[in-house]
Amino acid sequence: MATDIKTILLRLSSIETLLSNNNNNTLATQMAEQFNAIAERLNEIERKINSNNNDNPSAEEKERKRSLVLIGLSEAVAEKPSERAKEDAETVAEVLDALDVEVCPQMVYRMGRRIDEKRKGPRLVKVVLPATTFQRFALAQWGRNRTELKQRVGWQRLLVRPSLTKEELAAEREIREQRRMNYEESKKTEMVTTRRGGKMEKNF
């Protein structure tokens, strides 16, 4: 990157020299060539920066890829915030034990404000694990054992998913809405059985 910047500075120096020797009839052409070269070099630098950004994910993205979100865990009712946080951590430990994930989370916390009249159900629980490997294993275990785990007391509404970006959450909501619409449409068009004159008739 430093070499690219030096090259641009040299190009600018060349243009300055041309401007000082403006008796040259080909000045305009030479300046255009120099500016085009600088523009191309700047484009190369931009491409390199974008490539580096793609190869080196941000700290936020790294954390997201090793995080879980637990849905449906009842809120603690303790008066002190520290006691509520401790109870959440203990509940998360129980979930990880059930998933056979042998690791201690780096962070466990509820997402959003505790009192929110617009929210339905308990707040989501964010669980940050030490490495992506643990997150993937936990999700795989949940996929295999979710039916059994949801039979436990207090876990009937439990869902475990990866931490998602805003775009991914929007896409997920869109998919759920489409499924709901498809279900309602299928209910409207499904066969309706009625009794008429002691006979079964099928209407569509």
Question: Mean pLDDT throughout 21-36?
Answer: 61
Q: What is the pTM of this model?
A: 0.61
Measured CA to CA, the distance from residue 110 to residue 122 in angstroms comes to 9
| pLDDT score, position 165 | 84
The pLDDT of residue 115 is above 60: yes
Instruction: Select the more confidently predicted residue: 152 or 14.
Output: 152
The pLDDT assigned to 61 comes to 86
Q: Is the pLDDT of residue 23 over 60?
A: no
Above 80 in pLDDT, residue 123? yes
Q: What is the mean pLDDT of residues 112-121?
A: 77
Closest CA to 88 of 64, 123, 132, 137: 123
SS3 77: coil
Sheet holding 107-110, edge to edge: 107-110, 125-128, 67-71, 159-162
Contacts of residue 141, defined as CB under 8 A and 6 or more positions apart, other chains included, come to 99, 100, 101
Summarize pLDDT for 127-137 with one digit per residue, the tens: 999 999 999 99
Indicate the pLDDT class of residue 204, thresholds 50, 70 and 90: very low
Q: What single-letter amino acid sits at 4?
A: D
> Among 36-50, 87-101, 102-116, whose mean pLDDT is lowest?
36-50
Q: Tell me the mean pLDDT in the region 112-120.
A: 76
pLDDT category at 58 given cuts 50, 70, 90 is: confident
